[in-house]
Amino acid sequence: MPLFATLSVDDRQRVAEAAFTRRYERGEHVFQPGDQPGLYIVHVGRVKVYRLPESGTEQLIRILGPGEFLGEAAVLGDIPVDHFAVALDRTEVCSIDRRSILDVLAERPTVAVTMLQTVSHRLSEAEQMVSSLTGRSVEQRLVGELLRLAHESGSAQFQLPSTKKDLASYLGTTAETLSRRLSSLQDTGAIRLGPGRFVEILDEQALRSGALSG
C-alpha cells in the first residue's frame, strides 16, 4: 500500500500485525458517525464517503479505491467520526486503531509526510470544489470533472467511478439535471456515452467551449 511503501519489511510486518482486516458486502457500512477513530485502508473494492446533513440529502465527499485510506481526520485530530463510509462493491478494508497508527507516525516520519501530502491534496480538492459550486455553472463543473477523470485514467475513454446520482451529489446538482447535461454534451459531439458508466471524450476543444458558453 502506498502509505507504507517507504517502510522496511520489518516495519510493514509490525503495521500488518496491528491491522484488522474485514470484508464488506455492497451497501454495508465501514463506519458511521460516532464510531471510534481509526485509519481505514481499502485493499479490495471501493468505498464511498459521504455526509448526511439535516436536509437529508446525501452529500458525496469522495470515492476511494485500493491503496487509498480514510479516517485520517479523526485520527490526527482526535475528533468524533462525523460522516459515513459504505462499500460500493464486495470490499476488503484494513483498519488500524488510532493509538497504533499514531505510534507509527511518531516513529516513522516518512509515513506521516505521505499522509499529510494526501490530506493536503484532499483539502485542495475540497477548496476547489467549494469555489466551483459558488462560481461555476453545472455544465462547467461537469466538464471539469470529466476532464479530470480522463486525465487520471490516462485515456479519453473511462468509466465514471460512481453512479450518476452520486456524481450529481458531488457536483451539487440533481441526477435529472446531470443526465440532461450529459445528453446535451453528447448531442454536440463533444462526448459519447456508452453502456453503464462509460464515457468517451470525442472533442476536448468542443467540450471546453461548451463549458465556457454554459
pLDDT per position as a tens digit, 131-190: 555 657 888 888 888 998 898 889 999 999 888 888 888 888 888 899 999 999 999 999
Distance CA 27, CA 186 (A): 31
**Mean pLDDT, residues 26-32:** 93
pLDDT surpassing 90 at residue 116: no
**Cell triple for 73:** 481526520
**Mean pLDDT, residues 41-69:** 87
Angle at 79 between CA 131 and CA 25, to 5 degrees: 85
- Per-residue pLDDT tens over the stretch 66-110: 988 888 887 888 777 888 999 999 999 999 988 888 888 888 888
